[in-house]
Amino acid sequence: MKIGFIGLGNMGAPMAANLAKAGHEVTGFDVAGTTAEGVTSAASAVEAVQGKDAVITMLPNGDILRTVAAEIIPAMRKGAVFIDCSTVDVDSARAAHDLAAEAGLLSVDAPVSGGIGGAAAGTLTFMAGGSEASFEAAKPLFDIMGQKAVHCGEGGAGQAAKICNNMILGISMIGVCEAFNLADKLGLSRQSVFDVVSTSSGYCWSMNAYCPAPGVGPQSPADNDYKPGFAAELMLKDLRLSQQAADSVGAPTPMGARAMELYEAFVGEDGKGKDFSAMLPRLSKMARR
């Protein structure tokens, strides 16, 4: 396939490179001038998408998605598929779907889970929203860039699923960090806490796969001075999106709201540029109120 890829950042570049390695003809563009292995660089976003069978975007927020979509969709070939892998608000995702439909395009909102490591390894999970025909058109590309793609429903459903997933993640990471901090103060070893919780009812991804305690469990950013696999400011972005969505439909999310507040304080003080699991050393320095 001929593929246009807009947004060659930490996530987009390895995703585009994996498509090129699989034999697809990939043309990319990024406003920062970044490139990706095996990907031909275009001088503009419009140039990158012209005549392509599929166009993939990986962008920072909903406002940028709306701007880019308005720019590139009119330049796309009728019948092509527009795949947005950004994590944005549901309304922006639906606005992009509407533009694509008006232009005679298939479209999918398909945010991802798996982080930079998953993007490089081709093991991402895609949460997709759009018509069945759009999902089927995009699925061969999802199969290259990831290990699983779930069709969650119509336009915007992928973003809704991502927001729900990451609200759980933010809440659970804080819970795991609080438990380790409490265990420290009760005189328990972190290894014993991991050994118990990872095989008991406290089992969760934040403990078992991404443990925030250095030297415990599988390798994680905690073992690399909390250099980000998933930055705290990105977790804050997703928690804000979850609360924006909750407000729009009147859903009570008291734990999600409190998690957002805790990450706002963390990022606002010293958490920017650190992994979201660095909530553990932050809690270790705090006094009980």
Of 43, 39, 33, which is closest to residue 2 (Cα–Cα)?
Answer: 39
Q: Kindly state the average pLDDT of the residues 234-249.
A: 96
The secondary structure of 37-61 as a DSSP string is TT-EE-SSHHHHHTT-SEEEE--SS
Q: Which CATH class is domain 160-285?
A: mainly alpha
CA distances from 263 to 79, 104, 137 (A): 42, 41, 38
Q: Kindly state the average pLDDT of the residues 235-249.
A: 96
Q: Considering the chain, what is the average pLDDT of its residues?
A: 96
What tokens were used for 50? Answer: 């012209």
Q: How far apart are CA 56 and CA 262, in angstroms?
A: 33
Q: Give the type of residue at 230.
A: F
In this model, does residue 289 exceed pLDDT 90?
no
In this model, does residue 85 exceed pLDDT 90?
yes
In this model, does residue 75 exceed pLDDT 80?
yes
pLDDT confidence bin for 114, thresholds 50/70/90? confident
What tokens were used for 23? Answer: 């034999």
pLDDT of the residue at 229: 87
Pairing mode of beta strands 54-57, 40-41: unpaired
Are 114 and 139 within 8 A, CB to CB? no
User: Among residues of the chain, what percentage have pLDDT more than 70?
Assistant: 100
Is 78 noted as a catalytic residue in this protein? no
pLDDT confidence bin for 116, thresholds 50/70/90? confident
Residues 6+ apart with CB under 8 A from 256: 167, 170, 171, 239, 242, 243, 246
Q: Kindly state the average pLDDT of the residues 229-253.
A: 95
pLDDT of the residue at 156: 97
Q: Kindly state the average pLDDT of the residues 65-74.
A: 98
pLDDT of the residue at 132: 98
Q: Which of the residues 2, 139, 162, 272 is marked catalytic?
A: 162
pLDDT confidence bin for 288, thresholds 50/70/90? confident
In this model, does residue 113 exceed pLDDT 80?
yes
Q: How far apart are CA 84 and CA 203, in angstroms?
A: 33
In this model, does residue 21 exceed pLDDT 80?
yes
Domain ranges of the chain: 2-154, 160-285
Q: Where are the alpha helices (DSSP H) in the chain?
A: 12-21, 45-49, 62-72, 90-102, 115-121, 132-145, 157-185, 190-197, 205-208, 232-249, 254-266, 279-285
Q: What is the pLDDT of residues 245-263, one digit of tens each?
A: 999 999 999 999 999 999 9
Query: Candidates 1.20.1250.20, 3.40.50.300, 1.10.260.40, 3.40.50.720; correct CATH number of 2-154?
Result: 3.40.50.720
